[in-house]
Structure 1
């Protein structure tokens, strides 16, 4: 899929929002990608997952043992990437603020994991999820995401393969442009700020 085709899917599903948003990173933006909306249609989610898998080098795809995603955002796309790769997919949860495997999910020592996210902005959640997989004894060999919002600057410590890269401006709370500050603040993400 081309970047325009991917954005068309986001627009068609009402997943590209405009307003004043506080992102999970704490930064503010006039744009928000509500990936849950683009993924609520199973056909669309599958199409995006197959396109995401095609961004991965063939030798990397062949070496993946499991797909792991942080809940909530990465859960659906991670499951669909697992389907596209014909690999088991599981997810990490934060019942007490730290990512962990639950629900009987386990990773064998040395298993090679593809981490899958919906959107990466600062990479904090991804790095925490990668550390949780490492603590479980497995090895994250790469991360894939629908969207890289970092402007290409994120360092996850592993190779990173986004389907698209978007560079919407973001601002710290104390440096909001007047036109953004004048809009009502929304927090549509899954994490409380």
Structure 2
């Protein structure tokens, strides 16, 4: 059976522009968990989160676009669904809020496969790629979707976030630097064949490493 194939485009195909700061509800993982616990006590509903995997090619290698607040944790762009909201429409809304231009016309996000679901059984930091059989009321389900980017595009970056392009092999090898969900991404995506289309002139023999996409 042939591996599913996906074209990805070089970093030089995309432009990143700063916008005003985004209101950040959670400055740390512990704050986010505390807020999630308070919300669950109030509503009694499991939190459903959708996140987009945006890939670019640099140095002939796939890179994942991550968001970072200051020097704290990294995350994929996305967020919590509204009650009753569809996964795909909710992810499009979140991507437009995070990365889209501040105009009535929003990007036509092309959402692909759901490549992973992660479950949080309690209000602790640990997540699992399955729901433990003894857990009848998980507190969060995170769904990760591939996003097919256009050959050229522009993204708006809130100025209080860093946007990073992180190579697959860095996510895989530096487990101490990234949470479990991000560290597992290269393995979960290994069934795909990624074709870097029209590599840029800078794709030479230079060292491939994490790159800051935010503008000054």
- TM-based fold match above 0.5: no
More contact order relative to length (CA 8 Å, sep ≥ 6): 2
TM-score, normalised relative to structure 1:
0.26
TM-score, normalised relative to structure 2:
0.24
Higher strand share: 2
Higher helix share: 1
Instruction: Give 1 or 2 for the bigger CA radius of gyration.
Output: 2
